[in-house]
Amino acid sequence: MSNLVGSGAGRLCCAHEASPLHKEGSNARSKSRRRKSKTGRSEGFSGYTDWVLVSIHGLKTYLDLSYRRLLDVLHEMPRIARILDLEGGQLPDFTTVCARMQDLKMPLWRDFLRLSAELHETGEIQAIDATGMDRVAASQHYAKRTNYTFRAVKTTALIDCKTGVILDIHCSMKQLHDSQVGWQLLTRNLDKLTKVTADKGFDWELLRHTLRSEGVKPVIKYREFGWYAVANNVLIDDTTYHQRSNIESTFFALRRKYGEIVRARTWFGQFREIVLKCAVRNVELALNDVNG
Q: What is the pLDDT of residue 267?
A: 82
Q: Give the E-state strand segments of the chain in sequence order.
A: 125-134, 152-160, 166-172, 195-198, 217-220
126 and 190 co-located in one domain? yes
157 in Cβ contact with 129 (< 8 Å)? yes
Q: How confident is the model at residue 141 (pLDDT cuts 50, 70, 90)?
A: low
Q: How confident is the model at residue 137 (pLDDT cuts 50, 70, 90)?
A: low
pLDDT at residue 268 above 90?
A: no
Q: How confident is the model at residue 40 (pLDDT cuts 50, 70, 90)?
A: low
Residue 158 lies in a domain: yes
128 and 233 co-located in one domain? yes
Lowest mean pLDDT among 34-38, 67-71, 256-260: 34-38
Q: What is the pLDDT of residue 146?
A: 59
| φ, ψ of residue 82 in degrees (nearest 5) | -70, -40
Give 179-237 pLDDT, tens digit per residue.
999 999 999 999 999 999 999 999 999 999 999 999 999 999 999 888 998 999 999 99
pLDDT at residue 257 above 70?
A: yes
Residue 272 lies in a domain: no
130 and 196 co-located in one domain? yes
Domains: count for the chain: 2
Residue 275: count other Cβ atoms within 10 Å of its Cβ: 22
State which residues form the domain around 243: 121-266
Give 203-215 pLDDT, tens digit per residue.
999 999 999 999 9
